[in-house]
Structure formats: structure tokens, C-alpha cells
Amino acid sequence: MLSRSAYRNIAIVTVMLLAFALRTYGLTNESLWIDEGYSVALADHGLADIVRGTIADQHPPLYYVLLHLWQYFGDTVYHIRYLSVLLGMLGLAAILTMVNSLFGTRVGLTATLLSALSPMHIWFSQEARMYILLTLLTTLSAYYFWRLARGEKRVWAPYLLVTALSLYTHNYAVFIIVAENLLVGVWLLLQRRSLRFLARWVVIQLSVLLVYGAWIPVVLYQARHHQMRWLGSPNLETLRGTLDWLLLGQTPVRPVNLVWLLLAAIGVVLLARSGTVRPREGIEWVLGWFLLPLGLAFVVSQRYPIFQAKQFLIVLPALTAGVAVALCRLQGGWRWLIAGVLLAYNTSGLLNEYRQTTKHEWREVAAHITSHLEEGDVLYLNPAASILVLDVYLPDDVPYAGYPPGYSVIRGGWEGVIVDASMPEIVLAPLAEDYDRIWLVEFSPGFWDPNAHLAAWLRDRARPVDALAFHGISVRLFDVRDVVGHPR
């Protein structure tokens, strides 16, 4: 007969194999989208250019450096995205370790299963972006923080390492650090920690600040010049949508996410009633880990827009830990009834996510253009940054231009002026003289050309040949041989 530890190991292996299957299934079913194209293009450069490129953008450089090294071993779309699969699997192992240390094996395994089934966690484990790396590193930061809080003295070095690396991955890591420091403050006020612990903690935090200090001027520069005003201010519906995506995916039944929150609240109550110190402090940490990043980002975004659902993968371990506690403490048939209902809705959300086309169809755009390309054709891209992802799929010798002119991944996409009525003559007329046909490829055209002056100039002066709409992208072909001044 198998021992309890053997059953536990079998359960862990089963959960991890399920998670791996969900993250590798359909890994290349959809095209890279523009942000992934940015990742690939920047990672193709040397380390110095990667740093310059990230200074001109919004995020720190660590993920791009890691992807740069990863691409030495392959550059297919599958290989590029597989890095995120591995990071996602490591993140699940970190969640298992973290929640085990807080609440025990059964709760840890349940939280890992819930995280493994999270549509958002699966999504970013299949995307060539930094968010899954951020989740891994912040979970490890939380884990080593907890060990420090329990009085272990030999974990300050790994805490310092993973916390600094998380800051060099994404600026949202600061919310986890704020949560850690606020909890230390609460424990000191309640006299649960000594002044000696405070002194050691201050030294550790100053060490993190010292390691990260070189990047702080960059963050301040980006905050001033690279604001994402198109995000707008979040509201309660924004919060609801974030929770939906974290745990249920695209489910049509909106009240179900409230059940997750109710279960998490039940977990808090059950732990609070247990009367033991460690579970109480554990749930205090889980609450701070979940509520503070959400609350702080929500408040900051009322004046400075930074709130996006994808960043809140960093609170998924805390949310699933609370839900797992409730499920494991509930008695009798209620546990299985609630778990079954939530699993059914989660499965529905996952199926919808796998079946739907959610990313922009750049691969399909490139295939269409390549199959209809003729000598004398040129691509005009709005925005010019579209070349970052088209370059992955198009032949190397396709001529192109774009707006704003002279775009470079190193210089970034924040420089330029909005297209006015005179601009198309400046940027398109020279192309009409040198080429026979112009392909106008646009996605989110309103960012640089809100009044559609580029398309209007071509419609007025050239003969439309083709027009197709792909997911999130429009492609129009114009014959410009009749434009006045075109050499015949």
C-alpha cells in the first residue's frame, strides 16, 4: 500500500503534467501579436541596445535579456513562446512551495491546481512577454519574505536576488515590496517582531534599493514621458473583469466570480478562528499580497493610468491560496458541490479561450501579402511598429515604410506628431513616385492618424485593388500608377 507521501507526490506530478499540457496545447495556433513582435525584435539586438530600447519604452530589460540568450538555441515562434511555458511551470512550483509553507500540503496542492487552471496564467505562459516571469519572481519574493518573517537568517541573499530581479522585470513588482513592508510595520506595531528584526529588515530593503538604484532615474523618466493615457481610469467593472480573467476566463455568467471571493473570505474566517499564530499571520500576508497591489494600482490609476489586468497575475497565488483554504476546510458535500460548479465554469472559460481568435492575425496578413505581392509593391504601415511582428513572417526583401517615419525599436514608439491633412503628401507622394502599388496596413490607426488622412489620400489619388479585414488589422491595396507625377 502506498504511503501518504507517495500519494502526495503522485498528485503533484499529475497537477504539473496537466498544467504542462494546458500550456503547450495550441502554443502556435495564433500569430504573434505586436507586443510579442516587440519582444522578439528587441531581443535580437545586443545587450547595450536592449537597455537603450527599454529606456525608450515602459519596462525594465531583464525579460528581453533572457529572451536574447534563449534565442541562441532557436528562433521559431514555438521556441520563443516555450520560454514562457517553462517560466510558467516554475511559477507553479513556486506557488506550491509558497502555499505549502503557509498552510500545509493539501492547501498548497489545491492552490497550485487552481493556478494551473487559471486562464490568465495559461495565457501568459503562452506569450512572449515578461508577465509570467514577473509572477514567478514576485512569488519567490513572497516566499523568501515569509521565511525571513519566521526568523530564518540565511535566506536574505535569495530574497534580495529575486526581489531585485522582479524590479528589473516590471515596475509592478514594487507593489509586492510595498505589501511586504506594510505587513512588517503592522507586526511591529502589534509587537510581534523585535527591533532586531526591524534593523535586519531595513538593511535588506536598503540592499534591494542599492541594487535597483541605477534604474530608478529611468523609471522616473518613463513615468513622465511615457504615460499610457489610453488606458483610462479603472472602475469596479474593471476589477470584476480582472477577477474573471484570473480564475474563470471568458464565462457568460458574471456572478460566478463572486463565489471565488466568497470562498476566499470563508478561508480568512476559518483561519482566523483557528487561534494559532502562524495561520493568522499567513492569512494576513495573503490578504496584503492580494488586496494591496489591486488597491494601490486602482487608486494611482485614477490620476496616472497604469491599471491593466495582465499585471495582476502577481496576486493570483494569494487569491488561489485563500480559495484553497476555504475548499479544504469546508465539510461534507458542500466542498465537492462548490468545487464542481467552479470547475465547470472554469472549463467553459478555458474552452472559449482556446477556440476564439484573440490575437491580431499578423501571420495571416503576411501570408496574404506574400501570396499577392508583385514587383513594384511597397508596404506602408500605420503604425510603423507593425514591422516588428511582420518581420517575423514576411520575406526579407519586402520594401516598407511607415508612420511615424524612421521608427526604430531602439528609439521606441513614443516620438512623432499626429497626422494632419498635409502629412500624407509628404510621406506617401514619394512612395507613389517610386512604386506601382502601395499596401496600406493598419492596426489601431487612430493612435497616430485619428482622422484617417493616410487612407483618404490614397483613396482620392489611387485605384483601390484589394481590401481585407483580419482580426484587428485592415489591409488595403492601392494602384498608384495613375497618380500625377508617377513615372510611366
List pLDDT tens digits, range 315-369.
999 988 888 887 887 777 777 777 777 777 777 778 877 888 889 999 999 999 9
Residue 275: predicted pLDDT: 44
Q: At which of 312, 340, 355 does a domain end? A: 355
Asked whether residue 58 is domain-assigned, the answer is no
In this structure, the answer to whether residues 400 and 465 fall within a common structural domain is yes
Average pLDDT over residues 1-14: 85
Asked whether residue 54 is domain-assigned, the answer is no
Count how many domains the chain has: 2
- Could you tell me the pLDDT band of residue 271, with boundaries at 50, 70 and 90? low
In this structure, the answer to whether residues 161 and 240 fall within a common structural domain is yes
Residue 268: predicted pLDDT: 55
In this structure, the answer to whether residues 81 and 110 fall within a common structural domain is yes
In this structure, the answer to whether residues 382 and 346 fall within a common structural domain is no
Describe the strand order of the beta sheet including 400-402 as a list of residue ranges.
400-402, 377-382, 437-442, 473-479, 463-470
Asked whether residue 184 is domain-assigned, the answer is yes
- Residue 486 confidence (pLDDT) above 80: no
User: At residue 192, what are phi and psi to the nearest 5 degrees?
Assistant: -95, -10
Asked whether residue 49 is domain-assigned, the answer is no
Residue 277: predicted pLDDT: 40
- Could you tell me the pLDDT band of residue 224, with boundaries at 50, 70 and 90? confident
Asked whether residue 487 is domain-assigned, the answer is no
Average pLDDT over residues 455-466: 93
Asked whether residue 14 is domain-assigned, the answer is yes
Residue 157: predicted pLDDT: 95
Residue 276: predicted pLDDT: 44
In this structure, the answer to whether residues 87 and 147 fall within a common structural domain is yes
In this structure, the answer to whether residues 282 and 428 fall within a common structural domain is no
Residue 424: predicted pLDDT: 94
Asked whether residue 50 is domain-assigned, the answer is no
Average pLDDT over residues 444-464: 93
Q: In 212-347, which ranges are E strands? A: none
Close Cβ partners of 81 (under 8 Å, ≥ 6 residues apart): 27, 28, 36, 126, 127, 128
Average pLDDT over residues 288-309: 87
In this structure, the answer to whether residues 369 and 337 fall within a common structural domain is no
In this structure, the answer to whether residues 319 and 391 fall within a common structural domain is no
Residue 84: predicted pLDDT: 98
Exposed/middle/buried for 219, CB within 10 Å: 0-12, 13-18, 19+? middle
- Residue 87 confidence (pLDDT) above 70: yes
Distance in angstroms (rounded) separating the CA atoms of residues 111 and 139: 13
Average pLDDT over residues 386-400: 94
Q: At which of 355, 380, 396 does a domain end? A: 355
Higher model confidence: residue 302 or residue 373?
373
Written as nine digits, the cell of 5 is 507521501
In this structure, the answer to whether residues 332 and 436 fall within a common structural domain is no
Higher model confidence: residue 331 or residue 107?
107
Average pLDDT over residues 458-484: 90
Distance in angstroms (rounded) separating the CA atoms of residues 145 and 317: 14
Distance in angstroms (rounded) separating the CA atoms of residues 439 and 461: 14
Q: Which domain holds residue 173?
A: 4-30+76-355
Q: What percent of the chain has pLDDT over 90?
A: 59
Q: At which of 301, 333, 355 does a domain end? A: 355
In this structure, the answer to whether residues 438 and 306 fall within a common structural domain is no
The domain that holds 376 is classified in CATH as 3.40.50
- Residue 74 confidence (pLDDT) above 50: yes
- Could you tell me the pLDDT band of residue 189, with boundaries at 50, 70 and 90? confident
- Ranked by mean pLDDT, the top range of 137-141, 259-263, 480-484 is 137-141
Asked whether residue 42 is domain-assigned, the answer is no
C-alpha angle 126/132/134, rounded to 5°? 160
Close Cβ partners of 486 (under 8 Å, ≥ 6 residues apart): 432, 433, 480
Mean predicted lDDT score pLDDT of the chain: 88
In this structure, the answer to whether residues 313 and 282 fall within a common structural domain is yes
Written as nine digits, the cell of 321 is 491560496
Residue 348: predicted pLDDT: 76
Smallest Cα–Cα separation from 326: which of 277, 275, 273? 273
Beta bridge partners of 464: 478
Among the residue ranges 97-106, 343-352, 430-439, the one predicted with the least confidence is 343-352
- Per the document, the length of the chain is 488
In this structure, the answer to whether residues 335 and 227 fall within a common structural domain is yes
List pLDDT tens digits, range 145-182.
999 988 888 899 999 999 999 999 999 999 999 999 99
Residue 242: predicted pLDDT: 80
Residue 484: predicted pLDDT: 54
Average pLDDT over residues 259-280: 56
Higher model confidence: residue 259 or residue 145?
145
Written as nine digits, the cell of 453 is 488622412
Average pLDDT over residues 78-88: 98
What distances in angstroms separate CA 168 from CA 61, 77, 208, 379, one per listed residue? 6, 25, 11, 36
